[in-house]
Structure 1
Amino acid sequence: MTVKPLSAPACFWRRLRGSDRFAECVRVLLALGGIVAWSLFTGRFAEAIPALLGAIACALAETEDHWRNRLGTLLVTLACFALAAFAVEWLMPWPPLFALALPLATFALVMLGAASGRYATIAGATLILSVYTMIGSDLPGRAAPELLRQPLHLLLGAAWYGVLSLAWSALAPQLAIRLALARLFDALADYLEAKAALFAPLPGLDRDALQLALARQNERVVQALNDTRLVLIDRIGPRRPRGATAEKLQLYFVAQDIHERVSSSHYPYDALAEAFFHSDVLFRCEHLLRLQARDCRRRAEALRLHVAAPAGVAADAALDDVRSAIAALHGRCAPPAQALLHSLDALLRNMAAIQAQLAGGAAASTPAAGADSALQDPGPRSLGEAWARIRIQFTPQSLRFRHALRLALALLLGYAVLRAVHPQNGYWILLTTLLICQPSYGATRRRLLQRVAGTVAGLVAGWAALHLLPFGPAQLLLVLSGVVFFAARQRRYITATAAITLFVVLCFNQLGSGYEVMWPRLLDTLIGAAIAALATWFILPDWHRRQLSLVLADTVRSDARYLARIIAQYASGRLDDLAYRIARRDAHNAHAALGGVLANLLREPDRHRQGGEQLLRFLTSAHTLLGHLSTLGAHRQRLAEPDVLEAVEQAGARAVAALDELADALATGAAVAAVGDEVGPAAAPGLAAAGPEIARLVLTQLGLVVAQRDRLAALGTEIAAGT
């Protein structure tokens, strides 16, 4: 039966409905549209503007919670909003008191984010609402007896959006999980594509550059895994998962297993390309990985559209082709070296396991779907634990403490400037400083350029709208600009800034001051951007080279813990229990953090990013080491022979000790000796030659781990010398 192709409008609607931002944009459209409709019906435009700002602030504070947890989060958010809005209104007539309270409140709210990501989101939105309250105080036509009505309208707007959010969450409880899993499988597809590029046996291919791209793509997969885990923890809670939630949990474990297998590196790719340059086996492997990437994308699309994922028939055929090609290599009169063939056999088993996971989905019979399906909840379990997390950050060495102090002083400076330059419409200085000032120099510089460019574009669009559009379409454009802001704010910040600038111009135009607000908006943006830049440069600057040694050490130390958990399972058998999954996640998180630090460091001024080439090589080599660890994890199984197990455990213990030794040396800047052939096939020649196949694989991988460890030691010495 032929399937009738969808029309262009139907395809567009499917893509739109499956977008990650669709649900939030619809909620924002309903919230802003409802407020504007109320203002048109009542004619109370001045009161609608604070309500619009309150709805936007509440949307910024939104987290992907189940409706029960979202209700509690909403109540906390409204309480913080009320305290901030009324405090601003009460203190603004007394500038000295306001100048004292502003940095203290800013510091407290930023430090509150140390408790958990949820509190950090609420704290950031509360700071934004505080500045919205200040901006609302500049609205023309406000009488002094009515000043305290603005916080009420801000809260009503926030509550209105909160009600819509609660209703949406209750009506579509699985939507957030499906979207998170879809983003995860999209990230896995990109990772598979990046991994496939390594298998091309082409002369002159820069595999170090490909490894670097693979390491950076791995950061996106790790972030997607972490985001999905948080959504699942919120939905499951202390209960045993049931029904659709249990299926989504198993699909998350499938994605975890695929990630570990795709991360695996069975043999150096340069050696494989050289040995099989005249064979088609690597091309077949590359083709299979690309087909599996396509199947991951199809599964992501199926999750977004809530339909069944199509079967990967082409990938099954490609897997058979790889199997036949490897069998032909074994049957040659002069076969390649046994070590290479063993690596290809292990690679085939790994890709076959990935294909089985993709074909089975949530119903796949995977070890990850076994008895231990617990997830580690990163949130605080009590107020005491939350306070303990905050208190531990009260040290000048803490990045959060430094950012909180920097932002507090920057806003205080901005307030002093606006009092000196132009108190009327000057609070956009504070909003710009708040939004531009980021924890790192690189992020601040990027946000500064995007903010200024977006503001200019938004003012041009606002000027055109005021000239060309009558009142009714301008009201509609006001709502649409707010929706565009939320649609673009995570991926296209310039567009988002332009949209929210247009939104502000149209809001003030409802009161007859649309043109008058344009130049102050531009001037305040430039002043606020300059203050944010100066604060990032001069107030406790966080140049990433200062923390580099600790980040390098933590990466290697997390690898050592991961390896220790892997080796233990060769005695007990494969089991994806909570302890093992925590060790694996910590290792990948540490590598992702290393990539983030390196990316930020390379954006810093020249004098702070010396030795960038060595750092890039360190990141590439560290990711290669993680690939060999993932290979050991992907092929875990119980070793029945006591003498074989003892040899593997001894070799594993020496490799773990070598990694721990390197971590200590990186933390202190000391030199460390190379391990060489003390671990690996050369250390146990009898077992490597005649032992079980799995033992040979483990010894080979441990030898490759130690080789990368020695390379990291040499690079660490070069980096320490250049610091």
Structure 2
Amino acid sequence: MQSAMTVGLRRLWAQDAFVYSLRVFVALSGAMALCWWLDRVPLVIPVFLGIIASALAETDDSWRGRLRALLVTLVCFAAAAFSVKALLAWPAAFVAGLALAAFGFTLLGALGERYRAIASATVILALYTAISAAPGSQADALPFWHVPALLLAGAAWYGALSLGWCVLFPHQPVRQNLARLYRELGAYLRLKASVFEPVRAVDVERRRLALAQTNGRVVAALNTAKESLFARLGRQPPAGRLLRHLNLYFVAQDIHERASSSHYHYNEWADVLFHSDVLYRCQRVLKLQGVDCTQLAGALQLHQPFVRDGEAERALADLHDSIAYLERQQQPAWQRPLKSLRALARNLATLDAQLTAAARPEGGERPGDSSLLDRTPRSLADAWGRVRAQLHAGSPLLRHAVRLSLALAAGCAAMQFTDPTHGYWIPLATLFVCQPTYGATLSKVTQRVAGTAVGLVAGWALLRLFPSLPLQALFAVASGVLFFVTRTRHYLTATAAITLLVLMCFNQSTGNGYALIWPRLLDTLVGSAIAAIAMFLVLPDWQGRRLAAVVAQAVRANGLYLREIMSQYATGKVDDLDYRLARRTAHNADAALSTALSHMLQEPRAVRRQAGVGMQVLVRSHTLLNFLSALGAHRGQLAVEDSDPLVTRAADHAALRIEAIAQALSQRLPPLPDDGTAAALADALERQADTAQEPLRLVLTQLALVCRQIAPLATLAGQLVAVSGPGQGGAPHAGRPAPASVAQ
């Protein structure tokens, strides 16, 4: 029983949500206990709100970074709280100040996730100050500094807990982020295995679309793990646990490149090798490797050693035997797919070796360039340059900033007609509901209203069933913990929890929690409606108007990735900054295209005419990236006798045509008609590949596959421009690029 309890506690401790909720529980229960001990229960509302705002501003960081962020957060909170307190007596000045603050702080999101979280939490705290110190409320008779000081005390209390947690458990977030990354890789490998199913008339395009969407989640997990690692890297070379985690990250990068590789059109293999089990064996290897990634994720999360069972290795040996048997048959129709199958088997063998290396990541620092790219601003001038780069009509961030500030002003104006004293829940609901995209805003509106209704009904029932104030205090703490556990994945539950917390705290301080039920519901309805209307009327950022530019970014990134790969075939394989940055940029752009299309599908039918063409472009662009990934996975310097002018000519032509398509899309012009050069080069490459030896044969084959993607991609690009029309909306501005002196 003791062993089972130990395992259960270990599993509970490994859950990110549990660790987060434990920290919030300590903060809320400590604040509640102190207010009860001092017999100053009415103080609990501003203290709780300060804790919530501070927790919302928290991002993953080292203890030094968290200390700096906490100091910046408290300075911003102090400026916001005292400014709001000073302006509350003049409603017009308060509305103007709130709108300007929302506009400015939203633009600070251009500096990165840390600044985005602090800026958003500061605007939230400004409204929390207005709620706690509204004219005519009990706090109105208190000294000027009283409510801001309580809010800052709550924020500082949670900040101190968070800082202490960073000191005591510095590597826990990194391990959890790596576990999430390997879990996503496992899901991607298992989905990739479905592409090898040798069934006729299978919908390969649909499966490739699902792969592209899943790839977006893998890329997001890679970026999160990278930022988590970079926050803890110092000037000294990494050592100990940090070195193991860094090695695991680089192994995950290599696995991702090999997992996303494509060596041929697998549906054509299914026709040629229909009566063989070789594709089933490929499928089995990938599934088992996906299972190994998932098991590695579990081992990382539980802080346990990862031991492979050898089943994937045996399946890989069976695959090699199956390919060798088919080669001995000497069937002419099988020769071309079998050569590509050999390349695939080598790729899977290297992927398997990477999984074995992941089981022993303490083997020392990676040879070569192991630094990571620093995307944070390096100076005030750099920070201002990033913000200034967003000051144009096509910037989604600027459009959201304008929309949010006007929506908040409208919420404050509506408050004057409903409840000028306690109606600040209207702009607060608007602030939480108003999102950068239509689909996200609509989802928040429905979940916010439904969650508020659920929370009010639950609060009413609990107030009737449990009139004891100490019990209600426990309910308040529990609902606060539930809010933070569910706020990112289950927004309806989180909204119900925060509504229950407010109701319980209000009843603690006034003894009349029932009086808050109907006003809170009405305020939520009004605030949510304002956010939805603003999304329609104020600079709506429909994804269809940006789709051509997003596709252009993805296509251009593929061209740069191709050039970087081919440069390494000339000089030799090196996992340096330039290569890893080109690879990550290509995958990030592919993920951005997938995300944009997902958002478009949630928009009204009238503004998503490009959805069908966009999906085809995503599949084609992702397929091109798969062929490039295979070319990159096998990269290495070609021998002098293997150097071929045809390779150089085909690679240069493919890169130029890909970049030309991207340029035409960015200008919303149809690409130049295909003159057949790419197809002719593909034919020549395939003929030469039939007689070439490895590794030249693989280079020739993959370049032929790349060349065959150019004409269909150009055709789809022309269709996309024709559907969207020239000059609709501004292109997204990428902003000033981050300095590349610190490696990826």
Shared fold by TM > 0.5?
A: yes
Q: Would you say the 8 A contact 2:57–2:121 is kept in 1? A: yes
Please list, as runs of the form range in 1=range in 2, the aligned pairs for 1:52-91 lying within 5 A after superposition.
52-91=48-87
Alignment match, 2:506:
508
Q: Would you say the 8 A contact 1:680–1:699 is kept in 2? A: no
Q: Would you say the 8 A contact 2:434–2:531 is kept in 1? A: yes
Greater shift, 137-146 or 371-380, is seen at 137-146
Q: Would you say the 8 A contact 1:329–1:336 is kept in 2? A: no
Greater shift, 634-643 or 664-673, is seen at 664-673
CA distance in 1, matches of 2:584, 2:499: 40
Alignment match, 2:393:
396
Q: Would you say the 8 A contact 1:253–1:368 is kept in 2? A: no
CA distance in 1, matches of 2:540, 2:197: 44
Which SS does the other structure have where 2:142 is aligned?
helix
| Post-superposition offset of 1:709 | 2.1
Distance 1:272 1:685, change over 3 A: closer
Please list, as runs of the form range in 1=range in 2, the aligned pairs for 1:108-119 lying within 5 A after superposition.
108-119=104-115
AA aligned to 1:537 is: F
Q: Does 1:213 align with 2:210?
A: yes
Distance 1:198 1:440, change over 3 A: same
Equivalent pairs, count: 719
Residue-by-residue CA offset, 1:366-398 (whole Å, 9 max, x unaligned)? 999322011110001111211111112112221
Alignment match, 1:722:
723
Please list, as runs of the form range in 1=range in 2, the aligned pairs for 1:153-552 lying within 5 A after superposition.
153-334=150-331, 336-361=333-358, 363=360, 369-469=366-466, 470-511=468-509, 512-552=511-551
Q: Would you say the 8 A contact 1:680–1:701 is kept in 2? A: no
Greater shift, 236-245 or 503-512, is seen at 236-245
AA aligned to 2:707 is: V
Q: Would you say the 8 A contact 1:462–1:502 is kept in 2? A: yes
Distance 1:294 1:371, change over 3 A: same
Alignment match, 2:38:
42
CA distance in 1, matches of 2:365, 2:643: 26
Residue-by-residue CA offset, 1:61-111 (whole Å, 9 max, x unaligned)? 011110011101000000000100111111001112112211111111111
AA aligned to 1:672 is: L
Residue-by-residue CA offset, 1:302-341 (whole Å, 9 max, x unaligned)? 1111111122311111111111111111122536422101
CA distance in 1, matches of 2:371, 2:145: 49
| Post-superposition offset of 1:676 | 5.4
CA distance in 2, matches of 1:689, 1:318: 28
Which SS does the other structure have where 1:146 is aligned?
coil
Alignment match, 1:572:
571
Q: CA RMSD in A?
A: 1.9
CA distance in 2, matches of 1:503, 1:648: 66
Please list, as runs of the form range in 1=range in 2, the aligned pairs for 1:648-659 lying within 5 A after superposition.
648-659=647-658
| Post-superposition offset of 1:227 | 0.7
Alignment match, 2:732:
none
Q: Would you say the 8 A contact 2:28–2:51 is kept in 1? A: yes
What runs of 5+ residues in structure 1 fail to find an aligned partner? none
Which SS does the other structure have where 2:673 is aligned?
coil
AA aligned to 2:427 is: L
Q: Would you say the 8 A contact 1:687–1:695 is kept in 2? A: no
Q: Does 1:587 align with 2:583?
A: no
Distance 1:483 1:364, change over 3 A: closer
What runs of 5+ residues in structure 2 fail to find an aligned partner? 725-744
Please list, as runs of the form range in 1=range in 2, the aligned pairs for 1:609-648 lying within 5 A after superposition.
609-642=608-641, 644-648=643-647
AA aligned to 2:669 is: G
Which SS does the other structure have where 1:152 is aligned?
helix
Distance 1:195 1:451, change over 3 A: same
Distance 1:485 1:679, change over 3 A: farther
AA aligned to 1:389 is: R
Share of identical aligned residues, percent? 46
Q: Would you say the 8 A contact 2:244–2:361 is kept in 1? A: no
| Post-superposition offset of 1:575 | 0.9
Which SS does the other structure have where 2:304 is aligned?
coil
| Post-superposition offset of 1:535 | 0.7
| Post-superposition offset of 1:564 | 0.2
AA aligned to 2:368 is: A
| Post-superposition offset of 1:543 | 1.1
Q: Would you say the 8 A contact 1:485–1:496 is kept in 2? A: yes
| Post-superposition offset of 1:147 | 4.5
| Post-superposition offset of 1:642 | 5.0
Residue-by-residue CA offset, 1:473-502 (whole Å, 9 max, x unaligned)? 221121111111111111111111111111
CA distance in 1, matches of 2:48, 2:656: 59
| Post-superposition offset of 1:669 | 2.0
Q: Would you say the 8 A contact 2:61–2:232 is kept in 1? A: yes
| Post-superposition offset of 1:671 | 3.4
Q: TM-score, normalised by structure 1?
A: 0.96
Which SS does the other structure have where 2:410 is aligned?
helix
Distance 1:363 1:574, change over 3 A: farther
CA distance in 2, matches of 1:540, 1:613: 24
CA distance in 2, matches of 1:716, 1:167: 53
Q: TM-score, normalised by structure 2?
A: 0.94
| Post-superposition offset of 1:611 | 3.2
Q: Would you say the 8 A contact 2:678–2:711 is kept in 1? A: no
Residue-by-residue CA offset, 1:672-712 (whole Å, 9 max, x unaligned)? 32345556552246632332222221121112112222111
Distance 1:365 1:562, change over 3 A: farther
CA distance in 2, matches of 1:686, 1:599: 40
| Post-superposition offset of 1:293 | 1.1
AA aligned to 2:481 is: V
CA distance in 2, matches of 1:619, 1:640: 36
Alignment match, 2:124:
128
| Post-superposition offset of 1:362 | 6.7
| Post-superposition offset of 1:622 | 1.0
CA distance in 2, matches of 1:367, 1:172: 23
